[in-house]
Amino acid sequence: MTTSTDKTIQWLLDGDPAIRWQTLRDLAGASARTVAAERRRVAQTGWGARLLAEQSTDGRWSAGRARDAGLYTPKWTSTTYTMLLLRDFGLSPTNSQARTACRVLLDRGLQADGGINYKPDSRSERCITGMVLSILSYFQLDDDRVGNIEKYLRNTQMSDGGWNCRRVATHSSMNTTISVLEGIHLRELSRRGDTRALRVAQAKAREFLLVHGLFRSHRTGAIIKSEFMRFVFPPRWHYDTLRALDHFQSVQAPRDERLCESIDLVNSRRGSDGRWSLEYAYSGKTHFNLEPLRAPSRWNTLRALRVLKWWNEGPTGHS
């Protein structure tokens, strides 16, 4: 490890508990006991504790007077998006406040077809369903209805391997696919679903991303959207290349040559100080800002370094 990388890791360790425990686990080679002790601090101090302190007594965030207020809107302070942050922070899966919120999201969002939506008299929306499945699975909610959500997503996977929130679409969406892919991966890890079917669905979805080199049209080779090239945290419902690469490293997928250009992109964005900046933030009210825009970002740096570690040390082959 270079001196520059050592300094960067120390800088990460000077950050919030959500950053520190993941740095200890993914980059610093700390013991399981040390990692677990730091992870417990997510609920006690810093960003995680601040979010938990803003939860209403009924389990929601941004709760208004209406029965379903604060479930998915306002963005980005609703219960759904707050729980996505707590998931990414690494809050304990057994946290009682999170489990209460999970119950609310399931009870008030489950539709007759097995998916999730929070608009009155609406049909399920696949992007929202994927995000909520990831929340319920991460926090290990023990409810048979979560299996219905899993089946809904497996049954709505498109022939190209991905998903699209638009019902009349003929091609999958990168935005929807990454949210669903994260959800079904966490469902597999929860050991409560159909493991074989979930693995098959994930393999097809990752192949969909690989066919596109993570950001290019499979037909023309052109960049699909310039937004896909920005490194953003939190990503909300949006797709970007670093988010996709972080998924590949999280499953320890074999290196694939179709990811080379994306890896080059990550390397090219590293500053002379060994850090990656926060390149963009999606507009909308937030509970509080995690990091300043266009400044060195611990979130982007943590994710980029663990992606590069996986890439440099992992096995070759197709995922």
Task: Summarize pLDDT for 185-234 with one digit per residue, the tens.
Answer: 999 999 999 999 999 999 999 999 999 999 999 999 999 999 999 999 99
On whether residue 253 sits in a domain, the answer given is no
Residue 7 shares a structural domain with residue 144: no
- Give the confidence band of 66 by pLDDT, cuts at 50, 70, 90: confident
By the 8 A CB rule, do 5 and 15 touch? no
Helix or strand run (H / E) with residue 132 = helix 126-138
Give the model's confidence band at 4: pLDDT under 50 very low, under 70 low, under 90 confident, else very high.
Answer: confident
Tell me: do 5 and 68 sit in the same domain: no
The whole-model pTM stands at: 0.96
Same domain, 106 and 36: no
Domain limit, last residue, from 187, 211, 235:
211
Question: How far, CA to CA in Å, does 72 sit from each of 89, 117, 119, 120, 221?
Answer: 19, 9, 9, 12, 35
Residue 5 pLDDT level (bands cut at 50, 70, 90): confident
At 318 the pLDDT is 53
Looking at the predicted structure, is the pLDDT value of residue 105 above 70?
yes
pLDDT at 61 over 80: yes
**pLDDT at residue 67 in the model:** 75
* Residue-averaged pLDDT of the chain: 96
Instruction: Classify residue 251 as exposed, middle or buried by CB count within 10 Å of its CB (0-12, 13-18, 19+).
Output: middle
What is the distance between the alpha carbons of residues 214 and 80, in angstroms, rounded to a whole number?
26
Percent of the chain predicted with pLDDT > 90: 92
Q: State which residues form the domain around 191.
A: 48-211
Digit-coded pLDDT (tens) for 293-319: 999 999 999 999 999 999 999 776 654
Does 34 share its domain with 82? no
- Answer yes or no: do 173 and 152 share one domain: yes
Task: Over range 45-74, report the average pLDDT.
Answer: 93
Say whether both 13 and 82 belong to one domain.
no
Same structural domain, 24 and 82? no
- pLDDT tens-digit profile of 153-174? 999 999 999 999 988 899 999 9
User: Residue 317's pLDDT is what?
Assistant: 62
Contacts 24+ apart (CB under 8 A), 35-42: 39/90, 39/92, 40/92, 41/17, 42/17, 42/18, 42/89, 42/90, 42/91, 42/92
